[in-house]
Amino acid sequence: MKKKIERILREATEEICPTIDDWGEVKVERSGKNHGDYASNIAFLLAKKEGKNPENIAKEIKKKIKSELVSKVEVKNGFLNVFLSENALKEELSEVLREKDDYGKDICGKTLVVDYSSPNIAKSFGVGHLRSTIIGQSLYNIYEHLGWKGVGINHLGDWGTQYGKLLYQIKKEGKNPEDLSIGELEELYVRFHREAEDSPEMEEEGRKWFAKLERGDKEARKMWEVCRKKSLEEFQKIYDDLEIEIDYVLGESFYEDKLSAVIREAKEKRVAKKSKGALVIDFDDMPSAMILKSDGSTTYFTRDLAAAKYRLEEFSPDKLIYEIGADQTLHMKQLFATVEKMGWAKKAKFVHVPHGMFRLKEGKFSTRRGRTVYLEEVLALAKKKAEEIIKNSATAKNISPKERREIARIVGIGAVKYNDLKRYHKRDVLFDWDRIVTLKGDSGPYLQYTCVRCKSILEKTKRHDVTAEKLDEEERKIVKRIIQFNETVDAAASSYSPNLIAEYAFRLAKEFNYFYDSCPILGNKQRVAITEATLIILTRCLHLLTISVPTKM
């Protein structure tokens, strides 16, 4: 609807000023109460260009607006306030009912690569990786809805000096990796760092073991492969629980045979230079980035550089989103600047979507210090809380134990996801066991419950199309909210902010529940149509947030 109003205003304005060529600063935004449905600053821009009074120009534009979608236009202080007509609301509502899940979908023919999740092997999946996983998946869903071809990549942390340290500790303690759980592997890694505080020479031993791994040493490779395989099996259990499917698992090790070519190219293009035996890339406004250590081993930066080149060549993306923690901001700036220096990014746009960090009262999470919270524990608590509520509900007797567990899983995990996605992604989050799982108020379960309520209503009556009957005040209010879906998705995509969809969905659910309490629905065809449209939009919002809807609640 916003785009339709923009088009109407543009057509009216071009009649007055056919030579206008710059529409970049023209804004059409939702109005506040009593100021119409949309407001535009277009008269101010024309006034500046023509040297006229904005109020007079706005009045001229008003005279030219002739559309069935607009009931009236008011001019106030130079702003054009546009009121939607009854016809506009019903036409858009009918489109929701007609298109259903396809409402608002587009075909743009562009390709998007999203780098997200990226846990480290030989460590349990920590709650810190939850943010990247679900924010990244949500952005993937949002862009696919808008017609982009999505390519999701799990850039697994499975290479680097940290694994040299782990292999050294495994060998030092005489352990067999086949006999070790992920938790025990993590304990070995923590133990290495504790012991290294008193024996600094262990750090060098760790570097030597990684160098052996890079050279293809059989013993080192075998131990590493066991750790990687076990980790992937454990991670898959978490992804299954979260209902996350990532297109490709391309860990850092995948780029092992591509590193020498990148290093050679950086040398040939004089992007990299020697410094104290290492190979580095200098920047005018940032610290240097190392791509080859003095001992000949590669770095995390080298592997990220190889990954960027591979993605550009393999997928020809128009945009690459890196959903990575805010603590990697400098690294991302260095990476993007290097891609430019190498001349790789002809058409692709590189974007870092930084999420704030989960923190404890003691400070940031740190595996090496043994300070972490496992996501598996959080999800187990969420499912347990949800199941306890279901057991004590009035409908418990009609739900089998198996069905109750599945509903509890969907509701509990939906609560964890929504509780994070409703926050602006850049903000840090203080981890609190009492707040990580919210089942009431502005919560995932509240939205799921609203969907189930809508389904229940629709099961009791025939589905209906929009009628000729005039919308009353409450009906108009909720229809206006329903048709804001598309512009909300557009805003979420352009700002990389899934929280905008969460906020919109909560407002829609809240308004529908008020509508349900104050307006009889059954027997009223118009309200049944509105109920179905609400269900379509709410379900779509939850899908974009990677949250499922249970059959019962």
- pLDDT digits 0-9 by tens, 518-531: 999 999 999 999 99
Distance of CA 500 to the CA centre of its chain: 11
Same domain for 79 and 141, yes or no, is no
- Residues facing residue 81 across a β-bridge: 39, 74
- pLDDT digits 0-9 by tens, 441-498: 899 999 999 999 999 999 999 988 898 899 999 999 999 999 999 999 999 999 999 9
Last residue of a domain, one of 62, 84, 106: 84
- pLDDT digits 0-9 by tens, 64-104: 999 999 999 999 989 999 999 999 999 999 999 999 999 99
Q: How far apart are CA 529 and CA 76, in angstroms?
A: 35
How many domains does the structure of the chain reveal?
A: 3
Helix (H) or strand (E) holding 154: strand 149-154
* Position 458 in a domain: yes
Rounded to whole angstroms, what are the CA distances from 539 to 271, 454, 544? 49, 10, 9
CB 516 within 8 A of CB 453: yes
Matching residue, tokens 């407001």:
39
Q: How far apart are CA 544 and CA 530, in angstroms?
A: 21
21 pLDDT higher than 70: no
One-character DSSP codes across 347-362: SPEEEEEEEPPEEETT
The arithmetic mean of pLDDT across residues 110-120, rounded, is: 97
Q: How far apart are CA 505 and CA 102, in angstroms?
A: 17
* Position 89 in a domain: no
Matching residue, tokens 């260009």:
49
Average pLDDT along the chain? 92
Same domain for 414 and 499, yes or no, is yes
CB 110 within 8 A of CB 319: yes
Same domain for 344 and 380, yes or no, is no
- pLDDT digits 0-9 by tens, 304-338: 999 999 999 999 999 999 999 999 999 999 999 99
Q: How far apart are CA 90 and CA 71, in angstroms?
A: 13
* Position 93 in a domain: no
Same domain for 28 and 141, yes or no, is no
24 pLDDT higher than 70: no
Same domain for 246 and 318, yes or no, is yes
210 pLDDT band, cuts 50/70/90, is very high
Last residue of a domain, one of 342, 364, 386: 364
User: How many C-beta atoms lie closer than 10 Å to residue 503's C-beta?
Assistant: 16
* Position 484 in a domain: yes
pTM of this prediction?
A: 0.92
264 Cβ partners below 8 Å, 6+ apart? none
Same domain for 125 and 272, yes or no, is yes
Domain with 406 in it: what CATH number? Answer: 1.10.730.10
370 pLDDT band, cuts 50/70/90, is low
Domain with 338 in it: what CATH number? Answer: 3.40.50.620
484 Cβ partners below 8 Å, 6+ apart? 1, 30, 504
* Residue % of the chain over a pLDDT of 90: 76
234 pLDDT higher than 90: yes
Same domain for 78 and 166, yes or no, is no
* Position 37 in a domain: yes
Domain with 63 in it: what CATH number? Answer: 3.30.1360.70
Same domain for 510 and 433, yes or no, is yes
Same domain for 340 and 381, yes or no, is no
The arithmetic mean of pLDDT across residues 32-45, rounded, is: 84
Rounded to whole angstroms, what are the CA distances from 277 to 236, 261, 268, 273, 334? 41, 19, 18, 10, 21
How would you list the strands of the sheet with 248-249, edge to edge? 248-249, 149-154, 111-115, 319-325, 349-355
* Position 106 in a domain: no
- 294: helix, strand or coil: coil
Q: How far apart are CA 450 and CA 454, in angstroms?
A: 6
* Domain carrying residue 494: 375-544
Q: What is the pLDDT of residue 397?
A: 78
Q: What is the pLDDT of residue 22?
A: 61
Nearest to 26 by CA among 47, 40, 36: 40
* Position 514 in a domain: yes
Last residue of a domain, one of 364, 390, 417: 364
CB 417 within 8 A of CB 499: no
Same domain for 306 and 433, yes or no, is no
Distance of CA 154 to the CA centre of its chain: 14
CB 505 within 8 A of CB 542: yes
23 pLDDT higher than 60: no
Same domain for 384 and 524, yes or no, is yes
Q: Give me the helices (H) in 484-524, please.
A: 485-495, 499-518
- Residues facing residue 154 across a β-bridge: 249
* Position 100 in a domain: no
CB 39 within 8 A of CB 31: yes
Q: 25 or 398: which carries more pLDDT confidence?
A: 398
